Homo-oligomer: A and B are copies of this chain.
Amino acid sequence: MPDFSARLIVTLKNGVLDPQGKASLSALHSLGFAGVESVRQGKVMDVELIAGSESEAQSELSAMCEKLLANTVIEDFEIEWVREQVPA
């Protein structure tokens, strides 16, 4: 079966407080980056997996996010890309 690599992006839902982004924002201000207006922090996960096809990889990745990688109560996830790895 082919190898795929994928990037998942997990971000906080709109309106959910982001203490991490808030702390980074005020640190950036005190470092003199006055133009920054907001920072929201999320997670990126680079995944390698074996799957029968790209669409199978897609659905596996969604399931992984639903079940573990994202906390869907407060987070949204997106599969940014899935690429088939060409053996070198």
Taking CB atoms, residues of chain B closer than 8 Å to A79 are: none
Q: Quick one: given A11-B44, A43-B44, A45-B21, are A68 and B27 in contact (CB under 8 Å)?
A: yes
Interface size on A, residues (CB 8 A): 34
Contact between chains at B33 and A40 (CB < 8 Å): no
Provide the A33-54 mask, 1 if CB < 8 A to any CB of B, else 0. 1011111111111111111000
| Chain B CB within 10 Å, residue with most, of A40, A44, A64 | A44
Taking CB atoms, residues of chain B closer than 8 Å to A69 are: 24, 28
Contact between chains at A35 and B51 (CB < 8 Å): yes
Q: Quick one: given A3-B37, A49-B35, are A64 and B28 in contact (CB under 8 Å)?
A: yes
